[in-house]
Every structure is written in structure tokens, then in C-alpha cells.
Amino acid sequence: MTDMIPAWVNGTLTPVEKLAAHVQGLRHKAISVFVMDGDRILIQQRALGKYHTPGLWANTCCTHPRWEETADACARRRLREELGIADLALEYRDRVEYRAEVGGGLTEHEVVDIFRAEADPALRVAPNPEEVMAVRWVGLEALMQEVAEHPARFTPWLRIYLAEHARAIFGDPAAA
């Protein structure tokens, strides 16, 4: 069975096959999760078998909810499926919308529910090699500098989150 995700077609939320949503550039629902250890973020390098943006670095995990799946349930499911992470307390941070070309004639036009979770430094991560080829912890400032210096190494959505939505995701750095 193909992955049916919630997308807007002629103004109505409708189940649409995931690849079709990207080919047609349809506005659709998504989730993104940032797992943190203080100011360090767990990021992942997408597996080379992914149908778009293979080998690029992204936030901890991101995906599309299944038709009739809640954003929270989707975030928990994908943390488990992609990284073997379970039982983190997810904090809803924001809903954002972006549109980005992701290569191969595909477009992500997403309405994203963003979650953040605090993790212990000893968090056990078991990446699924079909989804993730590597993970690493990186400080927020170091990540922003690395993205500025080498943007092609990172997914379009991570670049957008850092440039346009960092305050909503990470809070006010002046308050830290």
C-alpha cells in the first residue's frame, strides 16, 4: 500500500500518495522533530536510498503524517522507526509553512508541526540504515555556521528552519 498523506487539493484536505504530493507540489502536512541535549541538536544524514535529498544532513527527524494520524503520534512513530528513539517527552513548538525545491522535479510545500525534545547525553540511538546513514550531535551556533559555510550539505528545510524559525524552535538565545 502506498503512503497516503494529508494534502490540500482544491482547498480540501484529501488523502494523496506521498510521491504524487511532491511531484505536483501540493501543500501537505508534515512534522519535524529536534532532539536536544542542552544547546546541542541531534542531526541525521539521510540515507542514500531516499528518493529526494539523499546524503544531506537534516534535523533529528521529519516526515509526513499518515492520513488521519495526529502530528504527535507521527513524530513518536518516526523517531522510533528512523532512530530507535522512544519515550521522549515531545514539546510542541510551532506550525510553519514553507515551499522548497528538493531536486528531481520534486517540491516540498509543507505545513509543518514542529516538536522539540530534551534528551540525556547518553540517549541510545539506533539508526535504521534504510532511512539514516549517520547521526551526530552539534551545537546550535556551530550548526548555523556550518550551514552558512556549506549550505549544499543540508536539506532545504533545515536551512529554512535555521534562517526563519530558529527563535520558535530553540527559544530566545538572549534568555539562556
Task: Please identify every residue annotated as catalytic.
Answer: 62, 110
The DSSP H or E segment spanning 146 is helix 140-149
2: three-class secondary structure by DSSP: coil
List the one residue out of 111, 74, 69, 76 whose CA is nearest residue 90. Answer: 76
Distance CA 16, CA 66 (A): 10
CA 31 to chain centre: 6
Render 37-67 in DSSP notation, one character per residue: ETTEEEEEEEPTTSSSSTT-EESSEEE-PPT
Distance CA 169, CA 95 (A): 10
Find where cell 484529501 sits.
14
